[in-house]
Amino acid sequence: MTSLQIGVVMGSSSDWDTMQHAVEILSQFGIAYEAQVVSAHRMPDDMFAYAEAAAGRGLQAIIAGAGGAAHLPGMLAAKTPVPVLGVPVPSRHLQGVDSLHSIVQMPKGVPVATFAIGAAGAANAALFAVAMLANHNPALREQLRVFRKAQTEAARAMRLPPE
């Protein structure tokens, strides 16, 4: 059995619609992951415990999604040396621009790699995590090459007007 590689966390189950796109990619590439709710504001002690245990549990990266006052990725990054990939979840009133600003505007010294708002950001965070793991895994790098090639071929096959 492959040991756990990537943690996917989010502030609420309401973030799942967005974050499932990260999980889909990780599944597609056969990455061992876990997914759970870890809320910065509603369960701060659990958040710190998760961050403090992450390196020792072998996590190679944490994909963290949150919406609104999206403090989860930044606070995780503050408490772990494991790379944190932040996904801004679309919010009800400000469409996720608030989430994006909350996640991307980290102070110098505590980075969070921040992705696009919504589904594309979630999928890309997972693809970025796959690329990181592929640095030390030739078979995974080949999988990534095949994925990119299929994407290129699909784009080349596009015809206008779209059906």
Residue entry with tokens 């090639």: 149
Specify the residue, 48 or 147, whose C-beta has the smaller distance to ligand RP5.
48
Q: Which of 89, 117, 126, 129 binds ligand RP5 (CB under 6 A)?
A: 89
Tell the smallest beta-carbon distance from residue 162 to ligand RP5 (Å).
32
Using CB under 6 A as the binding rule, whether residue 11 contacts ligand RP5 is answered as yes
Phi-psi sector, 18: left (phi>0), alpha (psi -120 to 50), beta: alpha
Give CB contacts under 8 A, 24+ apart, made by 137-142. 140/29
* Among the listed residues 5, 7, 12, 103, the single contact to ligand RP5 using CB under 6 A: 12
Distances (CA, A) of 34 to 19, 20, 45: 12, 12, 19
Least distance between ligand RP5 and beta carbon 81 (Å): 23
Residues 106-135 within binding reach of ligand RP5 (CB under 6 A): none
Task: Tell me which residue of 90, 92, 77 sits closest to 40, measured CA to CA.
Answer: 77
Among 7, 8, 9, 15, the residue binding ligand RP5 under the rule CB under 6 A is: 15
**Cα distance between residue 157 and residue 44, in whole Å:** 48
- Interface residues with ligand RP5 (CB under 6 A) are 10-12, 14-15, 39, 41, 66-68, 89
